[in-house]
Chains A and B, each alone.
Chain A
Amino acid sequence: MKQHDQFAEMLARRAELTPAEDARLTEHLTHCSQCRHTAEAYNRQTTLLRSLPEVVPPPALRATVLTGIATPAASRARWVFPLPFFAPLVAVAAALLIVGVALLHHANGGLHTAIAPVASPTAGEIVRQPTAPPVPHTGGSIKRHRPTPHGGATSVQSGAGPRATNAPAPTYSSGGNVALGATVPGPVPSTPIGALPLPTAISLGVAGRVNVPLAPTVPAFGPVNGHPTAVPYKPAVPHKPAVPLPTIAIPPNAPPTVAMPPGAPAPVPTATSGPIKVSRVAPSPTPTSLSTVTPVAPPTFGPAFSVPATPTPTLTAAVAVPAPTVTSTPPVP
C-alpha cells in the first residue's frame, strides 16, 4: 500500500519526473493495474485543465494598470512615510525655528527674554511681574514675578542694553511650549513642532503688544495612517478646539491689558500645564540688537547660526546638550 502511495505521488507529478524516476514508474505500471487506472485519471485531469478555454482579460485590466503607473500618487497610496525616523529631525528643526524666531524678536523688540521649551503642551497661563497689578482676565491667570535664574533648558538672554522706556517689564507665561522669561527645563528636540505656540504670536516690543495663545495646541505629530510617531502626544487635558488668539496689549507705561475675542472660551490653567514665561530681566531704554549668536555646545539640534552683525551690543547664545542653553553676554560697550 505504501508503495502505491509512493507511485501515486509520482504519477501526480509525472511531468517533472527525472528519466530514471519515469522509467521506474513505467516499469511499475506494467504490472500494477491500480496505478494504471490512476495514471489514466491523472492524465485526463491534465487534459481537461489544459483544455479549459482561456478567458480574455477585460480591457479594464490593462487600462487601469497603465493609468496607475501614469499617476504615481495612486500607486504609492499604500506607502507610509517613515515619520518616526524623521521625527527627531523635525523636532530639532522646530527647536531651531523657535530659537531663531525668538532671537529675531529680541533683535526687533529689545527685550531681555529667555526662551525655553516646555514639556507639556497644555492650557495657557499668563504670569506677570509683581511690579504691575494683575490684569483681570476671563481666562488664564495673569501674574507678575521676577525672573529667577534657572538652569537647564534653552535660555536666551539679551544683554543689559538700555531701554527706550522704563515701563514695567511684564513677564508672561503661557501654556504653550515656548517660555519667554525664566527658563523651564525641557529637552528641545522632544518638543513637538505642532505644540509650539508660534513665537510670532508673542511680540514683546516697546509698545508691548503681546499675543499669547491661551488654548492648548495640537501637535502636528500624530498617528499617520495608523503608525505611531516618535513623539507621542499625550495632552494633560482633553483637547479643545483652537480658539482665536487673544491679544494682550501692553502700553509702554501702563499696566498691560488683555483683550479676549468675544466668545472665546476661557483657558483653564492646570497644575500640569507647562508654563511659558516671558519676562523682562531689566529695563532697557533702547532695544537690544542682536549681533552674533555663537553656539558653544555641541549643537545636536542643528548647525550653528548667526545673525548679521550690528554695531552693538553683542548677544552670544550658548546651546547645551542635553539641556541646551543659549545665553547672552552683556553688550560690549
Chain B
Amino acid sequence: MPEAVSGADEQLVCLMNQYERPLYNFLLAVVRNNDVALDCAQDTFLRAYQHLKRGKQVNGAWLYTVARNRAMDEFRQKRRTQADPEVLDQIPVHEPTDHVLAVQSILAEMSPADREVLYLFDVAGFKTDEIGAMLGVRGTAIRQRLSRARERFRVLYGAEA
C-alpha cells in the first residue's frame, strides 16, 4: 500500500501541475467568489487523491465534474454565493481592460448553468457530449443550453456595448 499511496501522491502532483490553474479559473468563473473557488478546488483535488489511492483513474473530465458538482453544492446551500455587488472586485485581474471588465460583468449576470457550459465549451475545450456526461444530462440538452447561453451573452454584450 505504501507504493500505491506514493503513486497516488505523484499522480496528484501531476494533476495539480496540469489542472490547478484551469480548474481554479473555471470555478472562479462559475462561483464568482475567490474563497468558494478555493475551497471547491481543494476539495476536488483531495477527492481526486482518495480516488487515486483506491487505484482508480482521474482525468480532466473527472476533475471538472467533481469541481462543478462541488460548486453546485455551494449554490444549492447558498452559503457563500449570495449576490454581492462587489463580486467583480473579488476577481483578481492583473490587467483589467475594458473588454475584460465587460466580460466579467456579463458572466456575473448570467446564470451559473450558462456560465459553466460556456466556459467548459469555449475555454476548457470540452465537447457538448463530454459536458453532458459531466453534468449528467444528454448532449442535446447541453447543446440547447449552450445555444441559449450564447444568445444571453450576445444580448448582454450588446447592452454593455
Contacts and interface: CB of A to CB of B under 8 A. Distances in A.
Interface string A31-57: 000000010011011101111111111
Interface stretch (B57-65, B68-76, B78-86, B89-97): B89-97
Interface residues of B, number: 46
A298 to B, nearest CB: 36
Nearest to B94: A53
B157 A8 contact: no
A60 B20 CA distance: 12
Contact of A9 (B45, B104, B118, B147): B147
A75 B12 CA distance: 14
A65 B16 contact: yes
Given A8-B147, A13-B128, A46 B122 contact: yes
A286 B144 CA distance: 90
Interface in A288-304: none
B119 to A, nearest CB: 7
A207 B80 CA distance: 68
Contacts, number: 103
Contact of A60 (B29, B38, B92, B99): B38
A69 B154 contact: no
Contact of B24 (A44, A55, A64, A75): A55
B99 A51 contact: yes
Interface of A: 8-9, 11-13, 15-16, 38, 41-42, 44-46, 48-58, 60-62, 64-65, 68-69, 75
Contacts of B128: 13, 16
A19 B85 CA distance: 44
A41 B100 CA distance: 16
Nearest to A70: B9
Given A55-B91, A69-B49, A75-B49, A12 B147 contact: yes
Contacts of B45: 61, 65
B63 to A, nearest CB: 12
Q: Which of A57, A58, A62 has the most CB of B within 10 A?
A: A57
B25 A12 contact: no
A261 to B, nearest CB: 50
A55 B12 contact: no
